[in-house]
Amino acid sequence: MTRYPFVTIVMPAYNEAAYIEACVDSILQQTYAADRMEVLVADGGSTDGTRSILERLAASDPRVRTIDNSEHRLQSYGMNACIQASRGTYILICDVHAEYARDYVAQIVDAFERTGADAVGGAQRAKGRSSFQRALCRALSSQLGVGGAAYRSSDNEGFVDTVFPGAYRRASLERVGLFDVKAATNEDADLTRRIIDHGGRVYLSRDVVVHYYPRPSLKALVRQYFKYGDGRSRTILLHGTPPSLRPMVPFLGLSAALALLLVPGLTPALPACVLLYAAATGIEAARVGHTEGAAAVPVVWAIFPSMHVAHGLGFLHGLVKYTFNPVPPEIEQLDSRPSVTA
């Protein structure tokens, strides 16, 4: 790369003492030109020592700055505050619960420069520390678990509807606005949807390598997917139509199950359908889970319906909530001003 556009790393955080230092260090040690980067961390009022860690990191490296997000805590507010304070031509959102390849920033910038895309990212490569997380990684590697989303496969390359964790061209954010601060979840999908609706393009590069740590327990996973479903329904209601049928599949499956349960004429087919679903998920759990050992197979088997039902119920909850009590979007605008070019 003959020239190095200035890059801003935006990192929302709240009570991340166990992860924040390793994550920030991995960004500071990137192969990208050190003087062409800044790291802005939006701290939501952490009480576990995260803030003191950030203060120490900032004292040793002036590229690191903490942006206070204790008033709102929602990561959409924090990310917007960081972007407003940023100087980068490219804005890279980084998840604290992730590990970034040393050329992560360089590959993001390269993808922007060669494709002209408005947003860029990589595949969502899951990595586990505990036995449950490793089983969950296997479930997330299956199309039955994630519905064939393009950004879930490290082999995919090309223009898509969303990426992980998301990097944005500053000029594009000036055009479409920042994250919707009324969105408790799914704010990234909403932003990429607005980019696409404005004629922009989102690019998935297989050379952008980042691994993230999924939820550590089944209970936490269920909460996460319920929120995902709720946020997805709000995004669809706001934009009118989904970018694809995929986000609605768990809800459609849940609706079919409820119809079988509640409609007298369909009830006799319920046992056969339940057995078919159990067989399909069990066979897939054995296929993807056996590499983690026999004990992982029943865990993967339990994970599949947990994700499907939680996402479907969350979607249904969101449809009811946002149809009868809509939460209109609140899109903050990014002031148009020059980024660092010298």
Report the half-sphere exposure of 33 (CA within 13 A, side-chain side).
10
Quickly count: other Cβ atoms within 10 Å of residue 151's Cβ: 20
Provide CB contacts within 8 A for 307, sequence distance 6+. 139, 145, 221, 225, 250
How many whole angstroms separate alpha carbon 316 and alpha carbon 255? 9
For the chain, list the domains and their CATH numbers: 7-215 (3.90.550.10), 220-324 (no CATH)
How many whole angstroms separate alpha carbon 193 and alpha carbon 297? 36
Provide the residue-wise pLDDT of the chain in tens; the chain has 342 residues: 557 999 999 999 999 999 999 999 999 999 999 999 999 999 999 999 999 999 999 999 999 999 999 998 899 999 999 999 999 999 999 999 899 999 999 999 999 999 999 999 999 899 998 999 999 999 999 988 877 666 677 778 999 988 888 999 999 999 999 999 999 888 998 999 999 999 999 999 999 999 999 999 999 999 999 999 999 999 989 888 766 677 788 999 999 999 999 998 999 999 999 999 999 999 999 999 999 999 999 999 999 999 999 999 999 999 999 999 889 999 999 987 656 665
In sequence order, which ranges of the chain are alpha helices (DSSP H)?
A: 20-28, 50-60, 75-85, 104-115, 131-140, 143-146, 170-176, 187-197, 218-239, 249-262, 270-289, 296-324
Q: Dig out the tokens for 167 from the structure.
A: 């990097």
How many whole angstroms separate alpha carbon 315 and alpha carbon 251? 6
